[in-house]
Amino acid sequence: MPKIIPIRDLKKTSEISQMCHSSDEPIFVTKNGYGDMVIMSMKLYEEKMFMSDVHRKLKAAEEQLAEGKILDGDASLKSIREKYNV
């Protein structure tokens, strides 16, 4: 379940930092009862960005596949071996 805290709690920096590091999800910050910000640990941020990059690359690959932009694996390897004498 996501954690939701009011913006006034951001004064408690040590507690917020500990909360961010112990949570596997972002923490939502509200202002006047409405969503205002999202905070998370650097580790969680890096994981989210990595997965976002993976999803973006998979989507691009699926689009290329749908458009027929594919290469034969064996032919590609043969070409590389011939080019580099491997």
pLDDT tens-digit map of 33-55: 999 999 999 999 999 999 999 99
Q: Look up residue 6 and give its two tokens.
A: 């009011």
Model pTM? 0.74
Q: Kindly report the length of the chain.
A: 86
Q: What is the pLDDT of residues 67-81, one digit of tens each?
A: 999 888 999 999 999
CATH of 3-84, one of 3.30.2350.10, 3.40.50.300, 3.20.190.10, 3.40.1620.10: 3.40.1620.10
Contacts made by residues 1-9, CB under 8 angstroms, sequence distance 24+? 2/26, 2/27, 2/28, 3/27, 3/28, 4/28, 4/29, 4/30, 5/29, 5/30, 6/30, 6/31, 7/31, 7/36, 7/37
